Amino acid sequence: MPALVAALINLSHPGRYVHWGFIQLSVANLVVIALMILVFVLAIALPFPHGKRARR
């Protein structure tokens, strides 16, 4: 039964951290922040889908 409910990727082991001066971030948080920035850039860079236009 535990094998059935186990996660495909196990994150329950000691975390890894990066230190830069007084800044201390977990690698997991860094990945999430990088993904957020990527989504932001994509949201700006990708063109809007073309919809039907109507003139009023």
Partner 1 sequence: MSPRRFKPDRDVTEWTGPVARYDLAKEVTISFVVVLLLVIAFAAIFSSPDDHPVTLKSWATAMPVDFVQTAVTELDGTSPTATYGPPYNETPGAGQKIGPVSLARLAGVHIPINTTEDFVIKPLLTLPNAPALDSQVSRYESAGVAQRTSWDAAYEKAIAAASFPGYLKVPSGRYGPVGVMMTNLLAMARSGALDGALLSSPQLYGTDYTKPLLFIADGSYMSDLAANLHLQGDQWGMMNETGNFPGQAWLWLYTMWYQVPPFNTSSSGDALVWAVMMLLTLVLILVPFIPGLRSIPRWVRIYRLIWRRHYRSVTTEAT
The residues of the shown chain that bind partner 1, judged by CB under 8 A, are 6-17, 22-29, 31-33, 36, 44, 47-48, 51-56
User: Quick one: 1 or 12, whose CB is closer to partner 1?
Assistant: 12
End-to-end CA separation in angstroms for the chain: 62
Strand-pair partners of 48: none
Strand partners of residue 29: none
